[in-house]
Amino acid sequence: MKKNKFSLKKEYQKSWEFIKQSKKFIYVVIGIFLLFSLIGYFIPAPESLKTQILSFIEQILNKTEGMSQLELIWYIFFNNLKSSFLGMIFGILFGIFPIISSVTNGYIVGFVSFMSVESSGISVLLRLFPHGIFELPAVFISLGLGIKLGSLIFKRNSKKFLKEYLKGCLRVFLTIVIPLLIIGAIIEGTLIAFSM
């Protein structure tokens, strides 16, 4: 018997098929993210929460200060890779982790967008747009697949589906999520490096 040859094209096709089958979970993530982005933007944050978010942003700025363009790109890529992967894999725990991640990421994006617009005007959002085109879909797909893994608990014979779901999730992560995160990190890292 001949072994099936590896085909990148076929792997991509399988990945897109798995994404299509998972689209309702991805839409849930997008909905939660957008809702909490709007809350973060339009509803003033309590002072304690505002302090926490600003402290978190300050820590990131201190970490990335003095980094070269390549170091910035790697830092952004690695952080997004880690949070996307953990959001997907820990989704197996009833989908709780990706839902919390969607809420917090959405709120922080809304809050930071409001602060940026308040200090530099609406045009500042245009600078966030280019890397978001690639980064956000990657995050939405990862977290959506995480919720899909968590939904296994409601399926009969969940063990039977676990291997299939995990294989599909990892295939999508390798062929679609990682390339999107790489492009997003290159754009974001370059924009930050040139604005310094």
Distance of alpha carbon 165 from alpha carbon 148, whole angstroms: 8
Tell me if residue 4 falls in helix, strand or coil. coil
Residue type, 61: L
What does each C-alpha distance from 47 to 21, 52, 107 come to in angstroms? 42, 9, 15
| C-alpha angle 80-86-90 in degrees, rounded to nearest 5 | 155
- Per-residue pLDDT at 4: 63
Cα Rg of the chain, angstroms: 18
Among the listed residues 21, 26, 35, the one whose alpha carbon sits nearest the alpha carbon of residue 84: 26
The b/e string for 107-117 (b: 16+ C-beta within 10 A; e otherwise) is bbbbbbbbbbe
Q: Both tokens of residue 54?
A: 């600003």
Domain segments of the chain as ranges: 24-40+70-195
- Per-residue pLDDT at 1: 45
Could you read off the pLDDT tens digit of each residue along the chain, which spans 196 residues?
Answer: 445 677 888 999 999 999 999 999 999 999 999 999 999 999 988 899 999 998 988 998 888 888 899 999 999 999 999 999 999 999 988 889 999 999 999 999 999 889 888 887 777 677 667 768 899 999 999 999 999 999 888 777 777 788 899 999 999 999 999 999 999 999 988 887 777 6
- Per-residue pLDDT at 26: 97
- Per-residue pLDDT at 90: 93
